[in-house]
């Protein structure tokens, strides 16, 4: 360890008195991106600087006066520690003059209005020109429920003022609060100051404004466009100047965010504008949604042609939050809370996609329940399926509209930590949409309680087709090709879904004339081919409570889209094979149709599979075949079809 690391207040006091030292500066080594982090401390507020060796890892701990917490730095990550003074200008002192009571405790942090309670305001300020004092009121500062008041560590270097609110007290609770802190700084001049308060950075020019509000909002720092890519556009292509789908590719946008710097670059491809375009922008933040509207300056010189451009927008003042960006109508989600990642890159592709929308308030609290909590991890993004509350009967609800391309999926009654930030990840692969609820620790703090929450996710660019959903382990199908607007619920209990169909097994030509408009195939009880004696088979797994039902040798149209519908009423289960699609052939084939039914108890059920009825008792037999005759038959080998077939 380098010898300028100090221990004890005797060394600090002697240096401070000898050189009028105001601040101690702790400088880290540059990271892989060349970024050097600087930490500053006011010497008068430091109690001691202590070395610590834990499991062969050396730390430097800075203990503040009256604070129960400490600032810890890994020694081998530090470049140097030194002191700075400002003898030519008055020392700026600061103190907390008042604080509010706890505004929002841990039990309310899951409230969907939680982000709104922060109200996107970092601070308000008021400058007294006669006394040269500045009152800063910080809004919704994170703290411990059991703190015993506040003090403020203030350090200055040049025109930069570093402010660190810290709590007094010896004990901490397993819950967190939000507080409003009113602070006062002395020896303030009417000039521009750069403030740093924890992760917040903002400027106040007191030569221009004596009072105001500091908003925690992203800003657009620059807009630029590529050269004209195509000047053959018709005028109708620019109506509304909304985002247009790329005609010659599937990439709508690309983005790159620097998490440490809080900056980002967003490129939208092939937007239509006047050939001599000059752009400005409007930006707004509502909860976690950043809306950026590109505005064409119609007062600028206009040309008698239109072009497609790639538009690059640069943003700054981004926090380590989850954001939903809506840039000129294009909507996508970016999560900047991921730790140990300097640069986050991605693309937005044409097609269905989704994102987290909101979570409900806590619905039912279970205290002192550590299930799902890893207290040693500062941040957790669970890959597990979130457990559901036992005493509820609704798993998922949905409202989907293929006409507008929008939809809402709500996963009900998930048991999550009281203090976590809730979210969801949405993955779209072909016609399967998977949604998984996530949670992350708010400032590294978890509570020793869990609550049931409803997690809402938003879908956009839905198509008029059939989708298979997997929502926190709940599987179901929704067919938007038949009805473009659908809503419903998935109850807690048995349910079924189509899995797949076999390739054509035996073709029969010219069964009907496809040009005859009166012929409407489908929605019929399908015919079994007479050459086989096996109607269906079933395979039940008591560990997963899933049953695979295979209907054998069904005579269906060669080109139709196959499927199945499952209706469950008590212990009666009806499975009906369906056909749909835009193309029909003048031939029929035999197919095997595979359907899955889940959440079945090991008991007796009555099945009706395409008009054939039979009873099964899973407590007595877990697999069997259903045949035309009553002769004995062995269970056939499981039917396996690969996705390539």
Q: What is the DSSP track for 446-505?
A: --SEEEEEEEEEEEES--SSEEEEEETTEEEEEETTT-SEEEEEEESS-EEEEEEEPPP-
The rounded mean pLDDT for the chain is 78
Number of domains in the chain: 5
Instruction: Give the whole-angstrom CA distance, residue 470 versus residue 493.
Output: 16
Same domain? 569 vs 486: no
Model confidence at 524, pLDDT cuts 50, 70, 90, reads low
In a domain, 633, yes or no: no
How much is the average pLDDT of 354-383?
62
CA distance 288 to 113: 11
Greater pLDDT, 273 or 382: 273
Is 379's pLDDT higher than 50?
Answer: no
**pLDDT value, residue 632:** 42
pLDDT at 80: 79
Tell me whether residue 582 is in a domain. yes
Residue 117 has φ and ψ, to the nearest 5°, of -65, -30
The predicted pLDDT at position 9 comes to 37
The answer to whether residues 371 and 405 belong to one domain is: yes
Do 443 and 512 lie in a common domain?
Answer: no
In a domain, 1, yes or no: no
User: Which structural domain, as residue segments, surrounds residue 69?
Assistant: 9-84
Instruction: Name the strand (E) or helix (H) holding 150.
Output: strand 150-157
Helix (H, G, I), strand (E, B) or coil at 615: strand
* pLDDT for 370: 44
Among 180-194, 382-396, 622-636, the range scoring the smallest mean pLDDT is 622-636
Per-residue pLDDT averaged across 580-598, rounded? Answer: 86
- In percent, the amount of the chain with pLDDT more than 70 equals 76
| Mean pLDDT of the region 33-49 | 75
- What's residue 531's pLDDT? 55
What tokens were used for 333? 């989600």
Q: Based on the domain organization, do 361 and 484 belong to the same domain?
A: yes
d(CA 244, CA 251): 11
Residues 235, 172 share a domain: no
| Nearest CA-CA partner of 242 in 279, 283, 273 | 273
Confidence (pLDDT) at 332? 92
Query: Which of 469, 492, 515 marks a domain boundary?
Result: 492
| Alpha carbon distance 78, 76 (integer Å) | 6
Q: Identify the pLDDT of residue 183.
A: 94
Q: If residue 118 lies in a helix (H) or strand (E), which one and from where to where?
A: helix 114-118
Q: Indicate if the pLDDT at residue 112 is higher than 70.
A: no
**pLDDT digits 0-9 by tens, 498-519:** 888 999 988 766 555 545 444 4
Q: Tell me what the mean pLDDT of segment 97-114 comes to.
A: 59
Answer yes or no: do 60 and 150 share one domain. no
pLDDT for 410 beyond 90: yes
Q: What is the Cα–Cα distance from 389 to 171, expressed in whole angstroms?
A: 33
Within 10 Å of residue 76's Cβ, how many Cβ atoms?
A: 10
The model's pLDDT over 415-441, given as tens digits with 9 standing for 90+, comes to 988 888 888 999 998 889 999 998 887
Q: What is the pLDDT of residue 76?
A: 85
Stretch 158-187: mean pLDDT, rounded?
82
Q: Which stretch of 84-93, 332-341, 370-379, 528-537 has the lowest confidence by average pLDDT?
A: 370-379
User: Which of 215, 238, 258 is the endpoint of a domain?
Assistant: 215
Among 12-26, 72-86, 313-327, 499-513, which is the least confidently predicted range?
12-26
In a shared domain, residues 225 and 284:
yes
Question: Which tens digits make up the pLDDT trace of 215-266?
Answer: 778 888 889 999 988 765 554 444 433 344 444 457 889 999 988 888 899 9
The answer to whether residues 500 and 615 belong to one domain is yes
CB atoms within 10 A of CB 290: 23
Structure confidence at residue 383 (pLDDT): 45
Region label for 66, one of left (φ > 0), alpha (ψ between -120 and 50) or beta (otherwise)? left
The string of pLDDT tens digits covering residues 190-217 is: 999 988 887 677 889 999 889 988 877 8
What would the mean pLDDT of 492-497 be, rounded to a whole number?
84
C-alpha–C-alpha distance, residues 250 and 22, integer Å: 57
In a domain, 432, yes or no: yes
Q: Compute the C-alpha angle 177/179/180, nearest 5°.
A: 165
Indicate the pLDDT class of residue 522, thresholds 50, 70 and 90.
very low
Residue 638 lies in a domain: no
Residue 642 domain flag: no
User: In this structure, are 69 and 167 located in the same domain?
Assistant: no
Q: Is 643 part of any domain?
A: no
Query: What's the confidence (pLDDT) of residue 114?
Result: 32
Compute the average pLDDT of residues 606-628. 88
3-state secondary structure of 239: helix
State yes or no: pLDDT of 328 exceeds 80: yes
Residue 84, pLDDT > 80, answer no
Query: Which position has the higher pLDDT, 350 or 386?
Result: 350
| Mean local confidence (pLDDT), 139-161 | 82
565 and 578, same domain (yes or no): yes
**Is the pLDDT at 133 greater than 90, yes or no?**
yes
pLDDT of residue 190: 92
From 396, 451, 395, select the one nearest 419 (Cα to Cα): 451
Q: What percent of the chain has pLDDT over 90?
A: 22
Q: Retrieve residue 534's tokens.
A: 């096996």
Of 160, 195, 215, the last residue of a domain is: 215
The average pLDDT across 368-387 equals: 48
Whether residues 520 and 569 share a domain: the answer is yes
208 shares a domain with 103: yes
DSSP helix, strand, coil percent of the chain (3-state; round to 5)? 5, 55, 40
Tokens of 642: 């690969």
Residue 632 domain-assigned? no
């Amino acid at each position: 360890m380098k010898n300028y690391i100090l221990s004890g207040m005797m060394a600090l006091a002697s240096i401070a008195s000898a050189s009028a030292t105001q601040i101690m500066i702790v400088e880290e080594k540059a990271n892989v991106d060349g970024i050097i982090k600087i930490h500053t401390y006011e010497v008068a507020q430091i109690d001691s600087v202590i070395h610590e060796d834990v499991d062969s890892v050396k730390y430097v701990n800075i203990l503040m006066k009256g604070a129960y917490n400490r600032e810890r730095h890994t020694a081998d990550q530090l470049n140097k520690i030194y002191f700075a003074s400002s003898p030519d200008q008055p020392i700026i002192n600061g103190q907390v003059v008042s604080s509010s009571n706890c505004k929002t405790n841990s039990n309310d942090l899951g409230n969907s209005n939680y982000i709104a309670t922060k109200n996107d305001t970092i601070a308000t300020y008021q400058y007294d020109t006669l006394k040269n004092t500045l009152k800063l009121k910080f809004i919704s500062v994170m703290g411990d429920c059991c703190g015993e008041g506040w003090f403020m560590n203030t350090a200055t270097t040049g025109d930069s003022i570093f402010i660190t609110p810290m709590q007094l007290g010896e004990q901490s609770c397993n819950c967190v609060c939000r507080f409003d802190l009113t602070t006062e700084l002395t020896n303030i001049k009417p000039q521009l100051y750069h403030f740093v308060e924890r992760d917040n950075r903002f400027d106040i020019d007191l030569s221009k404004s004596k009072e105001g509000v500091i908003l925690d909002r992203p800003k657009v720092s620059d807009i630029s466009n590529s050269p004209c890519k195509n000047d053959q556009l018709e005028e109708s292509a620019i109506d509304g100047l909304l985002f247009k789908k790329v005609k010659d590719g599937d990439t709508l946008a690309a983005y790159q965010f620097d998490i440490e710097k809080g900056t980002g670059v967003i490129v939208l491809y092939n937007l239509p504008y006047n050939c001599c375009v000059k752009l400005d922008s409007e930006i707004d933040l509502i909860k976690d949604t950043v809306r950026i509207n590109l505005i064409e300056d119609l007062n600028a010189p206009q040309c008698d042609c239109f072009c497609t451009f790639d538009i690059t927008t640069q943003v700054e003042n981004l926090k380590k939050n989850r954001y939903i960006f809506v840039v000129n109508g294009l909507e996508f989600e970016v999560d900047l809370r991921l730790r140990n990642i300097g640069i986050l890159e991605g693309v937005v592709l044409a097609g269905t996609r989704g994102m987290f929308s909101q979570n409900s308030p806590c619905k039912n609290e279970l205290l002192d329940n550590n299930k799902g909590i890893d207290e040693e991890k500062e941040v957790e993004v669970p890959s597990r399926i979130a457990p559901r509350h036992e005493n509820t009967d609704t798993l998922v609800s949905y409202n989907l509209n293929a006409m507008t391309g929008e939809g809402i999926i709500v996963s009900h009654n998930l048991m999550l930590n009281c203090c976590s930030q809730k979210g969801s990840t949405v993955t779209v692969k072909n016609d399967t949409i998977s949604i998984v609820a996530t949670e992350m620790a708010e400032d590294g703090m978890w509570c020793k309680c869990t609550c049931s929450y409803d997690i809402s996710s938003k879908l956009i660019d839905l198509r008029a087709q059939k989708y298979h959903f997997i929502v926190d382990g709940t599987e179901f199908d929704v067919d938007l090709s038949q009805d473009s607007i659908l809503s419903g619920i998935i109850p807690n209990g048995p349910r079924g879904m189509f899995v797949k169909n076999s390739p054509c097994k035996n073709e029969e030509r010219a069964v009907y004339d496809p040009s005859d408009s009166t012929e409407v195939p489908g929605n019929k009880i399908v015919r079994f081919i007479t050459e086989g004696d096996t109607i269906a088979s079933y395979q039940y797994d008591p560990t997963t409570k899933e049953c695979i039902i295979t209907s054998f040798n069904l005579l269906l149209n060669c080109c139709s889209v196959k499927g199945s519908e499952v209706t469950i009423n008590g212990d009666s289960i009806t499975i009906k094979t369906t056909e749909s699609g835009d193309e029909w052939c003048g031939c029929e084939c035999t197919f095997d149709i595979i359907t899955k039914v889940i959440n079945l108890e090991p008991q007796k059920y009555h099945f009706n599979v395409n008009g054939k009825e039979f009873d099964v008792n899973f407590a007595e037999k877990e697999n069997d075949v259903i045949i035309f005759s009553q002769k004995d038959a062995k269970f056939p080998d499981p039917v396996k079809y690969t996705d390539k077939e």
